Every structure is written in structure tokens, then in C-alpha cells.
Amino acid sequence: MFLTRIYLNPHRRGAKQLMRSRQVLHAAVMNCFPPGVLDIPGNPRVLWRLDYPPSLRSGLPRQGSPSCALFISSPVPPDPSHIVEEAGYATEGGVVVRDMSPFLDGLSAEQRWGFRLCVNPTFRTAAQVNERGQKKILAHVTQAQQIQWVLKNAKERGFRVLTSAEIGGDLPVLENDNGERVDGANLLINGALPS
């Protein structure tokens, strides 16, 4: 697996077009690979994500370039030269391609990792039906609903959310609804609603 980071310059016309349309960006990412190279059965698919710097998300001032980062995960190394030419930085560090195989080969069961998860927790309800008669898909909107969705789906996705007691150290003093002490039973998860 290869992980590629491409800095996009949001002041360039090509970058504005890519950031405005997911379809255009998806096409640009897929054009980084020669025909047929991704058609090998059993190979992982290409995933991509566009990260905006804090200054563009929040409106707060930030030092340095306001570049956006396009991340591409792929089974073969991409050739993003057309993206760099129209929307990126051709300077040193504008594009970084890393072979992730040594890292991935070093992963094993029961390792502990901290990570950020960006998901859209949804559920289907029979109370509302769409025009085709199918159960309507609705979003979990409260932080509590979103956290419960993550906990419910964690095992199926290959991870588990730990409690502070499992990590150790100073444990917060907690009580359950019956007033009994359950120190360390809190989950190590921070939910954040999108702003």
C-alpha cells in the first residue's frame, strides 16, 4: 500500500475546481493510475481524502501557506503530476509518496492505537419510507447517538474503544446511576459534532 500527500494551492484555478467538486477530484485522483493497473482482483481500492487547514475551516489566522492536503491511499504508487501542474506545488515537499508496507506488516492484534475517525453515523427507520418504499436513512444527530453508533460498530470494523482503567494512570472518580463508584469505567472517546 502507498500513501501519497499532495499539497494543493487553493489560490490556483485548478485547485479551486478540484475542491469545489468531489466528482472532478475523484476523476483527477483516478487519472493518477495507468489503465488496468487497478483492475487486479483482490487489490485494495483507491481511497482519498481532502484535508483543509485550520485557517480555511475556522477562519482563524495561520502562519505559512493555506494549502490543502490531498491524501491518496492506493495499492500502487500514483503519478500525480497532472494534479501538481494544475493545482499544486511543484516545489520540494509538494508531493510525498510513501510505501506503507513495512508499517502495515508490523501491525498485530492487541496493539493500542489512537486515531481520529470521520464517519457519518446513520440508521434506517421503518417510520419513514422513501419514494421507492425503502426505509429512509437518517443521521444520528446528537453526540451521544454518534458515540453509541461508533461503539456498536467498532468490533465489526476491527477495533475496540478502551476504558481509562485499561490504560491506567490517574483514574477519574465516577459514579453510576445508583451512586456506586465505577472509577475508570469511562470510555476513551471524544465525540465531536461537525461545525
Residue-wise pLDDT for 2-58, tens only, equals 999 999 988 889 999 999 999 999 999 999 999 988 888 888 899 999 987 765 555
Dihedral sign computed on CA atoms, order 118, 137, 21, 59: negative
Tally DSSP H helices, then E strands, for the chain: 7, 6
Dist CA 66 CA 42 (whole Å)? 38
Out of 21-35, 73-87, 179-193, pick the least confident.
Answer: 179-193
Residue 109 pLDDT: 83
DSSP state of 5: E
